Structure 1
């Protein structure tokens, strides 16, 4: 009998926790595979874990996570309804941006998570996850300021999906006007989910 989603994800999470494919594996406290529903319609993909994520082994548990929780709540969702992960599963030193090499080493895990969960909508949060996911599905990335909230429709082996890039919630902490942009993009997301 083929393995169910739960079992496949548990095995994959174990692999991620034991991974040493790039130098970040030596530096982390905890790998951060992701969390949420394995049957989620929507998957959020951030860049990389920060300090608190590294401490707790969970994605988006610091200040940016609080922003994300508020945005989800604003459209009637909670973390239990969605799946949240990052393109890189271990914290880069000093919370620097992940390198191309780190993204290359780690992205197969994200690809497997997408194949197992089979979301209807993927929301890249920030330019690194946006760049990777748009290229993966055959689109040319543009600056996030130009394409946040835009809908890209892609074909996968498990059907059509929507990719909808958004600003990273951390951006709203540094530039408060972006919180309103994020709120509007989440409203668009609510409409899309209601039509699915």
Structure 2
């Protein structure tokens, strides 16, 4: 009798009462992830903000609405992709997660990705990109160039929150998303 792969629901249930790091003491909700559990495309951000912590869902604030518009421009919606973060609890004041917080949380991300088994991951923003790639190069140098995470093609790009502050950078993100769409088409053919 073979081992049955774990489900996202089982991973989320295990994470529900997580107390592995200090972020658990201040959170309202664990922000696990949403979308298609068999998505070909996964978006990974850094961590939940205030609105995400309140609702228990990633990318629900203004940056999330911009991500929805990016998805729409790609001919997709949230139900066709999977969206999650490197850490699942909100860092105070939306600061970058600390190395020990990542150390406790990244195994859950790896398990999520192993369960979903996507063809492509899009890492959103400096922190998520540098964490997943273990590369401290500036996001401006990393974005737009294919890399790999856990054996999955990874496209680094700017975070939607950054695009809200610097709308002129939307063009670069759109170029990155065109590469993602091209890669997904190649992998289907």
Q: Deviations over 1:93-147 (max 9, x none)?
A: 1111111111111111001111111111111111222122223xxxx45211012
TM-score by length of 1: 0.89
Does the 8 Å CA contact 1:45/1:125 hold for their aligned counterparts?
yes
**C-alpha separation between the residues in 2 aligned to 1:141 and 1:97?**
14
In 1, Cα distance between the equivalents of 2:150 and 2:20? 29
**Partner secondary structure for residue 69 of structure 2:** helix
Q: 1:148 aligns with which of 118, 137, 143?
A: 143
**Using the alignment, how far apart are the partners of 1:120 and 1:74 within structure 2?**
20
The Cα shift of 1:175 comes to 1.1
CA change 1:155–1:175 in 2 (3 A) is closer
- Gaps in structure 2 of 5+ consecutive residues: none
1 CA distance for matches of 2:61 and 2:25?
22
Quote the offset at 1:155 in angstroms: 6.8
Give, in whole Å, the separation in 1 of the partners of 2:99 and 2:156. Answer: 19
User: Stretches of 4+ moved more than 4 A in 1?
Assistant: none
Q: Deviations over 1:64-113 (max 9, x none)?
A: 00110000110101111111000010011111111111111111100111
TM-score, L = length of structure 2:
0.92
Structural RMSD (CA): 1.5
The equivalent residue for 2:89 is: 90
- The residue that corresponds to 2:32 in the other structure is 33
Q: Report the alpha carbon displacement of residue 191 of structure 1 after superposing the two structures with TM.
A: 1.3
